Amino acid sequence: MNAAVTTAPADVIRDGLAHLAPVALDALVDVAGLLTRVDRKYVVELQRVPGLLAGLPEGARALEIDGERVFGYRSTYLDTPALDGYFAAGQGRRRRFKVRTRAYLDTGTSWLEVKTRGSRGTTVKQRMPHPDAETVPVSPDGHTFVDAALASGRINRVRPQELTPVLVTAYRRATVLLPATASRVTIDVDLGWTSLRPRCPGELARPSLAIVETKTGSTPSEVDRLLWSHGHRPVRISKYAVGMAALDPTLPRLRWARTLRRELAIPAPTLPSSPQEDR
């Protein structure tokens, strides 16, 4: 699974996308903004990504900004002291949520984002401009925004003022537009996690892996079918959740136990198992 990689992960993606025509950010958002969508995630060995990119459907286009196609991201996740966000997602609750700030390192922009669940398993994302929550506390306007976004997802048990930064994820991402289905695909590499919780400090990196995510309407995209033809299947993975579980061995792994063990090669801790863990 974690064979040595001799080419920088970002260069693997950059080279694999070189044959695609570019698309500007505004055009990408116009065609496939998809703030309400179905996400399917795949963990792929980096060495297999070039073959997948070579098979992208005709008409696929790569997001390009100022001549660059691979961009740095940094997300700071916030949760309650009881980790309500982590447990709600891990236990598959209908009323689950995710709150984070996301910084786009190459453009210098940053957003406060709230994800909730919509009808039929869709993901609903709402966001507003806001600095990285690790360095700048969430503002009163940010608390008001989070409160309204959670209420729209029928989540009333969480007070925004309780949310504090607990984890940072960092990675580099390329985005591909599929105009025929008004959908898009992201490929994340240089995957890294840093715990912000004093009781379990630590870092995790997986440079030999990529997370490929399709973001579509209800119908799978051409890239989903391409991935299936190469033997890849969607997996349960949340960058937030697997980072939390990997860096805090006292947390139950819940529905991510298999992904942590198989895809991320993180052995199970020598602790009593939770009956709710996905085996």
Closest CA to 206 of 6, 50, 9, 74: 9
Residues 119 and 94: their CA atoms lie apart, in Å, by 10
pLDDT for the residue 35? 56
Q: Residue 128 is encoded by which pair of tokens?
A: 């507003």
Q: Which residue has the tokens 């994302």?
A: 125
Q: Residue 29 is encoded by which pair of tokens?
A: 């958002």
Q: Is 21 helix (H, G, I), strand (E, B) or coil?
A: strand
CA distance readout (Å), 261 to 43, 99, 257, 277: 12, 26, 6, 12
Q: Residue 168 is encoded by which pair of tokens?
A: 């940072």
Please check whether residue 92 is in contact with residue 82, taking contact to mean a CB–CB distance below 8 angstroms. Answer: no
Please check whether residue 52 is in contact with residue 8, taking contact to mean a CB–CB distance below 8 angstroms. Answer: no
The residue type of 177 is L
Residues 210 and 173: their CA atoms lie apart, in Å, by 10
pLDDT for the residue 2? 44
Residues 185 and 29: their CA atoms lie apart, in Å, by 13
pLDDT for the residue 278? 53
Give the β-pairing of 21-23 and 61-63: parallel
pLDDT for the residue 192? 97
Closest CA to 266 of 230, 231, 241, 229: 241
The residue type of 134 is E
pLDDT for the residue 279? 46
Q: Which domains does the chain have, with CATH numbers?
A: 9-263 (2.40.320.10)
pLDDT for the residue 38? 83
- Mean pLDDT of successive 10-residue stretches along the chain, which has 279 residues: 65 96 91 72 96 95 96 97 94 89 94 88 88 96 97 92 97 94 93 96 96 89 95 95 96 94 88 50
pLDDT for the residue 121? 65
Q: Is the dihedral of CA 241, 243, 248, 252 positive or negative?
A: positive
pLDDT for the residue 3? 43
Residues 55 and 172: their CA atoms lie apart, in Å, by 21
